Structure 1
Amino acid sequence: MSPFDDAAIAARLAELGLQMPPPPPPSANYVGAVQEGKLLFVSGQGPVFPGGYHHGKVGAEVSIEQAYEHARVTTLNLLSVMRQELGSLSRVRRIVKILGMVNAAPDFVAHPLVINGCSDLLVSLFGEHGRHARSAVGMGSLPGQITVEIELIAAID
């Protein structure tokens, strides 16, 4: 069984008290993911939850711990888009790279701690196949003032 098998991932998420949502539709003129050769490029996703989005400036009205959880929610949305694009997560060989953007207060410096919410979840779900290269950066704003946006590149079969 692939470490990226849909049933195995769903079971592991359930153990963590999490559930993969339906994929959020693109909010502008772009697609959720593009496959090029053996790479899947997943468009930036935000912290969408059943009631809407998480908003605010990290380091001001949003704590590191809250934003870490928002990065986990964002990761679930990334996985959902991947599953929709590929038909099954079993086609994924490994997570290659993530770019994590944090809607940060001007003096905020702990961007990596926020994006660890994504990295920790990917490694928890996929083990060594979930380890990836990464950038974690601060932004003056993000669309709709969401707290985090993350994009992902995966190697696929």
Structure 2
Amino acid sequence: MNPIYHLEERLKAKGLALPPAPTPLGAYVPAVISGNLLFLSGMLPLRDARLIRTGKAGFDVTLEELREDAAQVVLNALAVVKQTLGDFNRIVRCVKLTGYVASADTFYEQPQVINGASELLFELMGERGRHCRSAVGVSVLPLNSPIEIDFIFEIDKC
């Protein structure tokens, strides 16, 4: 059986659950399918429709907190994937993610922050969770969020 079919079981085994899919905070849609690609808009570390924390890496927020935020972003993204596709059976793989980290000008550990997302995707999806990525330091993000991540998934056309 395709290992992606077990994604929800892997979530449960890790003590995690998908949250409700976050609603857009502006004039955009959370996901767009083009051909065999599913593009997700930038996801914030929201829990119960609120940011878990605010601030900048290297100033207000620790590396470990940022890694937790990155994992929450993955859960939010998977909730959008499920809402868009109905289930996870059409996912072929995660192709790419781009992580943005609101950073003090002396913070250089953006890759370690975004590892919180990359590692969880691999744990949940196996090899299909390995992806290309960028980890970018920025001066500010929407709502004073410490991170934002967007995703591209390859899907079966069906």
TM-score over 0.5 for the alignment?
yes
The question of 1:11 aligning with 2:6 is answered no
Cα deviation per residue 1:55-99 (whole Å; 9 max; x = unaligned)?
111111100011000000001001110111111111000000000
* Equivalent position of 1:96 in the other structure: 95
Number of matched pairs: 155
Q: Which amino acid aligns with 1:14?
A: K
The question of 1:32 aligning with 2:27 is answered no
* Equivalent position of 2:78 in the other structure: 79
* Equivalent position of 2:126 in the other structure: 127
1: distance between equivalents of 2:58 and 2:14? 26
The question of 1:2 aligning with 2:2 is answered yes
Q: Which amino acid aligns with 2:4?
A: F
Q: Which amino acid aligns with 2:33?
A: Q
Q: Which amino acid aligns with 1:21?
A: P
Unaligned ranges ≥5, structure 2: none
2: distance between equivalents of 1:24 and 1:3? 26
| Structure 1 residue 36 displacement after superposition | 0.3
Change (3 A) 1:93 1:51: closer
Unaligned ranges ≥5, structure 1: none
| Structure 1 residue 51 displacement after superposition | 6.5
Q: Is the 8 A contact 2:22 2:49 kept in 1?
A: no
Runs of 4+ more than 6 Å apart: none
Change (3 A) 1:4 1:144: same
Q: Which amino acid aligns with 2:137?
A: G
Cα deviation per residue 1:4-49 (whole Å; 9 max; x = unaligned)?
22xx222211221211101000111100000000000011100001
Q: Does the residue aligned with 1:4 lie in a helix, a strand or coil?
A: helix
**TM-score when scaled to structure 1?**
0.95
**TM-score when scaled to structure 2?**
0.95
When the two chains are superposed, the root-mean-square deviation of aligned CA atoms in Å is 1.0
* Equivalent position of 2:115 in the other structure: 116
2: distance between equivalents of 1:84 and 1:51? 16
2: distance between equivalents of 1:74 and 1:51? 12
Cα deviation per residue 1:110-150 (whole Å; 9 max; x = unaligned)?
00000001000000011111000000001100000111100
